[in-house]
Structure 1
Amino acid sequence: MPLTFELDPAMTPAFRDDVLDLWTEVSNAGGAVGFVPPVTREEIRPSLVRQLAVMSEGRARLLVGYDEQRRAAATAFLTFNTDRMSAHWLWLYTVMVHPRYQGKGYGRDLMAAAADAARGFEGVEAIRLACRGGLGLERFYGSCGYKEVGRVPGAIRVASGDDRDDITMLLPLG
């Protein structure tokens, strides 16, 4: 069954917990979403609170993909630039698909829904995202139309002796 996508869902306590659970499960499955396993909900909570604060200021939007039980199965934060000279593109952050749904095309669906949402924002012409090297993410994003536009070797330290490239990808929306 395909996911149902919604932009800017109601921020109820239950929904916030649902996103926190998703973020924790994705992180503990090895997802490159800002943490290294093992991680707890309480370790992730401050990052979610920061994202929600940015949303409350109108600087970001949340796209969520719901499963058939209306649980958050996929998310992405679309974050606007505050610099007026960069206002023609936005960042895509914390792109997640629940581990039980990976390999079913839901990641590609999420990326298409994010591009569709961005096309609806006045003046936005492109999406940028950063991804961690060593996981094949750049191949996945490339298959969704993104092009690698920058790479900083060893910029992400996953663990002592395990440095990964920070890869910047761009999707023109035109």
Structure 2
Amino acid sequence: MALTFRLDPPLTRELRDQLLGLWTEVSEAGGAVGFVPPVDVEDVRAELVRHLVGMAEGRVRLLVGLDEEGAVAASAFLHLNTHRLMRHWIWAYTVMVHPAHQGKGYGRDLMAALADAARSLEGIEAVRLTCRGGMGLERFYASCGYKEAGRVPGAIRVADGDDRDDITMLLPLN
């Protein structure tokens, strides 16, 4: 079954709660979305609120992938650049697929929908994202057309003695 993708769905309490649940479950499963397990729901809520504020200010767009029951199974936040010299590309943040849906091709579907959403935005020529090294994510993103554009060795400390590279990936849209 394929997901149905929506850019900028109406932000309801139910959607907010589903995003919070998705982010928490992905984090608890070891997903590289800003946390390491164990994850406190209130920490995740604080980060979600930052994205929601950006949405309210028009700087952030939300892409959700809904399963056959209409529940959020995948999501990504697209952050628009406000700097006048960088408005031609966007950041993709907090790219997530629910652990129960991993291995079904939904990650690849999400990345294709993300690229389509970016193309629908006026003047956007590329998508940038960062990923945590040591998890194989750069290979996944490369298989979706992204190229490694930079790497900062050891920039992400997930635990004492466990530093990971911060890898920047770029997808040109032309």
Q: Fold conserved (TM > 0.5)?
A: yes
CA displacement at 1:31 relative to structure 2: 0.2
| TM-score (normalised: structure 2) | 0.99
* Match of residue 153 from structure 1: 153
Give the aligned residue type for 2:143.
S
Q: Distance in 1 between matches of 2:143 and 2:40?
A: 32
Q: Distance in 1 between matches of 2:15 and 2:119?
A: 26
* Match of residue 115 from structure 2: 115
Give the aligned residue type for 2:38.
P
Give the aligned residue type for 2:14.
A
* Match of residue 24 from structure 1: 24
* Match of residue 98 from structure 2: 98
Q: Which deviations, in whole Å up to 9, do the C-alpha atoms of 1:78-136 show, x marking residues without a partner?
A: 11011010000000000000001111100000000000010011110000000000000
Q: How does 1:1-174 map to 2 (within 5 A)?
A: 1-174=1-174
CA displacement at 1:40 relative to structure 2: 2.4
- Secondary structure of the 2:35 match is coil
Q: Distance in 1 between matches of 2:43 and 2:123?
A: 36
RMSD: 0.5
Q: How many residues align?
A: 174
- 5+ long unaligned stretches in structure 2: none
After superposing the two structures, state which structure 1 stretch, 128-137 or 34-43, moved more.
34-43
* Percent identity of paired positions between Structure 1 and Structure 2: 72
Give the aligned residue type for 1:50.
R
Give the aligned residue type for 1:41.
V
Q: Which runs of 4+ in 1 moved over 3 A?
A: none
- 5+ long unaligned stretches in structure 1: none
